[in-house]
Structure 1
Amino acid sequence: MPQYNAILVLSFGGPEKPEDVMPFLENVLRGRNVPRPRLLQVAEHYYHFGGRSPINDQCRALIAALQGELDAHGPKLPIYWGNRNWHPMLEDTMRQMAEDGIQRAIVFITSAYSSYSACRQYMEDIERARQAVGEKAPVFDKLRHFHNHPGFTGPNAESLRAALEQLPGAQVLFTAHSIPLEMARTSKYVAQLEEAAGLIAGQAGHPEWRLVYQSRSGAPHQPWLEPDILDALKEVKAAGAESVIVAPIGFISDHMEVLYDLDYEARMRADELGLQMVRAATVGTHPAFIGMIRALIAERAEGRLEADPCRQDCCPAPIRGSGFTAISATPYSGEPTPAESGKRPPRG
């Protein structure tokens, strides 16, 4: 049974001040031929919120809560934090772990679901960082997906019930990040989302719901999961509804994907349509969610695998030339980068 001596929280990263925005986006889009005007267009979404993404602060809050949970209930392990696209960068964090003598660590990726961008690509990031750090780099074992864990579905159901108290009888739209159909076919992303939505709706006592998608990016000719949230709101209104609840179960915190695409864009669309809209909260640092992470860590540390670990061949990368660059979030589901003519930008 492996002996672990640290936890790594691995996330997407985001700018923390206006001067970070362009370097951050250049990191996100490194190696891709995205025109400068498109980059500037994406940057405006961050400047709309003062040039600061909330994702890093949310990671800090999650780590603080998790460290308290581990200190109180064990296993008592230090927590390190690394990001894909902004400081603290994964490679820098791994070098620090090596200097600290960490040999084997458990990694918690801030996404509940499986797909290339939400899971496999992070494992590729880890391997590249290990190669860069060299022979002293730690070995990492990933925690299993938690889309159907009570510590995830329970807080989401609680948030849905609270939203329903504000708008009794409202239509319920569960949202998640859209991904290309090619990527969806090679993963359990949609099936896991549907399972999570059914569990959350059942626990909330509201069996009527619909799964929709948001934050689509990439070339318009490429098929992605639909319907888009903005189109779904039109359909809800056309069907005679007067109110709607939007529950972003594809994400674990209120980062930029939630704040811009739902609290800003979707709310504007709802207002235009004359729909009352309440957006349900994400799990954030809900005590049950933090307790779930500790339970998954203990499960791995004690060798109790309640679900099959990721296979080596699962969630393969998209075919090159498909017009898609996969990146991933946050708490978060996969966050694809924009192609040159993409509809929406990536956000942390």
Structure 2
Amino acid sequence: MTSYDALLLLSFGGPEGTEDVIPFLENVTRGRDIPRERLEEVGEHYHLFGGVSPINRLCRDLKAAIEADFAAHGVDLPVYWGNRNWTPYLADTVRQMKADGIRHAAAFVTSAYSGYSTNDQYLNDIARAREEVPDAPEIDKLPVYCDRPGFIEPFVDATKDALSRLPEGARLVFTAHSVPLSQPNRELYVAELEEAARTIAEKAAPGTPWDLVYQSRSGPPGQPWLEPQITDHLGELHGKGVRAVAVVPIGFVSDHMEVKFDLDVEAADLAAELGIALVRAGTPGTDPRFAALPRELLGETG
């Protein structure tokens, strides 16, 4: 049994049409003084996919998978969904939860790690949304889950599959979203990524060499961020004679834009130019083991 009366699926959000792209990017970068030209440049990534980020569809699919898992295990809780940067906005979802009589919800965030942008910022989002809604329900964020089998095991299977499609001697390259070196809790974020990469590598391909690299850097060119970037790293691997890599995006729970463009387009195109065979491993998405995580965490914390 749990003391909660609802689950809130909390995510980043993304545009669902060409007219949404720039307003969405303005939401993401608000307060950071990013030039309009840079927004338009990044917007082209979305326009390659019709102006639609996969993330909202993936959240709908995950919500349905969580609801199915709840039903299969006798968990009688409604599942709500809210975003930081696009509809359905979190404050609107909290408003609906209040209208439905929800008093105490648990939040499952589509980000597995500790750190500011991956954990603390979502806590801030929850606090701000509750401030906008008088007498809002209490909302507790469920713990990070980067070390949980429901997150790790889908990546293990995806890594095995990626390696099976490459010649013998392929190298593992784990990727995650870069963050500024000045960001709070950066060290914890990196430590958790390293441990997740090590665990997946040991389970999927013991003895296979692996690297942890970063992607999707933004911000001013002079601001130091976590490195190396995957594009730079591919060049270094090429110089060392590596000709096959399995890229495993452990920083992401689903195949959203940072995966579909930064890896499947940008990194893949560079690898092809360098003569490197590259296979990108899948993400947990709606894997039943991942969809079971909210229920498992509720059982431990509720």
Question: Does the CA-based 8 Å contact 2:253-2:284 persist in structure 1?
Answer: yes
Question: CA 1:227–1:32 in structure 2 vs 1: closer, same or farther (change >3 Å)?
Answer: closer
Per the alignment, in what secondary structure is the counterpart of residue 105 of structure 1?
strand
What amino acid is the match of 1:163? A
C-alpha separation between the residues in 2 aligned to 1:28 and 1:181?
Answer: 19
| Contact 1:107/1:142 (8 A) holds in 2 | yes
Aligned to 2:254: 253
TM-score under structure 2 length normalisation: 0.96
Contact 2:15 2:86 in 1 (8 A): yes
Preserved contact between residue 16 and residue 53 of structure 1 (Cα < 8 Å): yes
Offset at residue 186 of structure 1 (A): 4.8
Q: Secondary structure at the match of 2:139?
A: strand
Q: Is the CA contact (8 Å cut-off) linking 2:115 and 2:185 kept in structure 1?
A: no
**In structure 1, the residue corresponding to 2:213 is in which secondary structure?**
strand
SS of aligned partner of 2:296: helix
What do residues 188-247 of structure 1 show as CA deviations (whole Å, max 9, x unaligned)?
100000110111111113332110111111112111111110011011111111111111
Hey, what does 1:147 align to over in structure 2? 146
Distance in 1 of aligned mates of 2:145 and 2:229: 25
Match in the other structure for 1:295: 296
Aligned equivalents of 1:164, 1:115: Cα separation in 2: 30
**Would you tell me which structure has more helix in proportion to its own residues?**
2
Alignment of 1:105-254 (within 5 A): 105-135=105-135, 137-167=136-166, 168-183=168-183, 186-207=186-207, 208-254=209-255
Per-residue CA deviation, residues 104-139 of structure 1 (Å, 9 max, x unaligned), is 00000110101111111111111111111012x010
- Report the Cα offset of residue 6 of structure 1: 0.2
Q: Secondary structure at the match of 2:183?
A: helix
* Cα distance change of structure 1 residues 52 and 97 upon mapping to structure 2, 3 Å threshold: same
Aligned partners of 1:293, 1:93: CA distance in 2, in Å?
18
Structure 2 stretches lacking a partner, 5+ long: none
Q: Which residue of 1 aligns with 2:265?
A: 264
Q: Secondary structure at 1:297's aligned position in 2?
A: helix
Which amino acid is the alignment partner of residue 49 of structure 2? F
Cα shift at 1:65: 0.4
Change in Cα spacing, 1:2 to 1:70, as seen in structure 2 (3 Å) is closer
- Matched-pair contact (CA < 8 Å) for 2:2–2:299: no
Amino acid paired to 1:53: S
Query: Which position in structure 1 is the counterpart of 2:11?
Result: 11
Distance 1:250 1:86, change over 3 A: same
Residue 185 of structure 1: how far off its partner (Å): 5.2
Aligned AA (1:166): R
CA RMSD of aligned residues (A): 1.4
How far, CA to CA, are the matches of 1:59 and 1:118 in structure 2?
Answer: 17
TM-fit CA distance, 1:184: 6.1
Partner Cα distance (1:83, 1:227) in 2: 30
Q: Percent identity?
A: 56
CA distance in 1, matches of 2:288, 2:98: 31
Per the alignment, residue 29 of structure 2 pairs with 29
Q: Distance in 2 between matches of 1:23 and 1:228?
A: 27
CA distance in 2, matches of 1:32, 1:216: 14
Q: Is the 1:116–1:187 contact (alpha carbons within 8 Å) kept by the matching residues of 2?
A: no
Aligned counterpart, 1:94: 94
Say whether the 8 Å CA contact 2:82–2:89 is kept in structure 1. Answer: yes
Provide closer, same or farther for how the CA distance between residues 185 and 100 of structure 1 changes in structure 2, counting only shifts above 3 A: closer
From the superposition, tell whether residues 246 and 156 of structure 1 become closer, same or farther in structure 2 (CA, over 3 Å): same
Q: Which residue pairs with 1:337 in the alignment?
A: none
Number of equivalenced pairs: 300
Amino acid at match of 1:297: L
Distance (whole Å) between structure 2 residues aligned to residue 109 and residue 185 of structure 1: 18
SS state of the match for residue 176, structure 1? strand
Task: Output the amino acid matched with 2:45.
Answer: H
When residues 188 and 259 of structure 1 are mapped into structure 2, their CA distance, relative to the original with a 3 A threshold, is same
- The 2-side partners of 1:181 and 1:198 are apart by 22
Partner-residue secondary structure (3-state), 2:298: helix
Structure 2 counterpart of 1:78, one-letter code: P
